[in-house]
């Protein structure tokens, strides 16, 4: 299963969740989990996204989400779930 972690960082404003999730929906990427928090002075939204049925690669999805993020005035980071699992799980 390919899962990506999508992190959105920036100042809070209406439409961020909608803007990001519409890109995911367009590509049939399923949001499995979503969490918002204010951490180290950053507003952060973290999504776990299942890409097994999606029509894009992680790289392509990153490109599109970053473009959407630019329009929304937020920073979007997309990484493979494996990176987190490797680093933080023994």
Query: Which of 1, 11, 18, 35 forms a contact with other proteins (CB under 8 A)?
Result: 35
- Of 2-10, 14-22, 66-74, the window that binds other proteins (rule: CB under 8 A) is 2-10
Alpha-carbon distance 59 to 63, whole Å? 6
- Residue 16 near residue 34, CB atoms below 8 Å: no
Query: Does the footprint of other proteins cover residue 78 (CB under 8 A)?
Result: yes
- Residue 2 near residue 51, CB atoms below 8 Å: yes
Query: Does the footprint of other proteins cover residue 1 (CB under 8 A)?
Result: no
- Of 12-20, 21-29, 43-51, 66-74, the window that binds other proteins (rule: CB under 8 A) is 43-51
- Residue 54 near residue 29, CB atoms below 8 Å: yes
Alpha-carbon distance 38 to 51, whole Å? 27
- Of 18-26, 39-47, 65-73, the window that binds other proteins (rule: CB under 8 A) is 39-47
């Amino acid at each position: 299963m390919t899962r990506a972690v999508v992190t959105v960082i920036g100042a809070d404003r209406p439409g961020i969740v909608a803007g990001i999730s519409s890109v995911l929906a367009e590509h049939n990427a399923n949001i499995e989990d979503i969490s918002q928090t204010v951490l180290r002075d950053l507003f952060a939204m973290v999504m776990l996204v299942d890409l097994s049925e999606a029509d894009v690669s992680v790289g392509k999805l990153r490109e599109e989400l970053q473009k959407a993020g630019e329009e929304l005035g937020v920073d979007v980071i997309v990484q493979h779930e494996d990176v987190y699992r490797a680093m933080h799980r023994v």
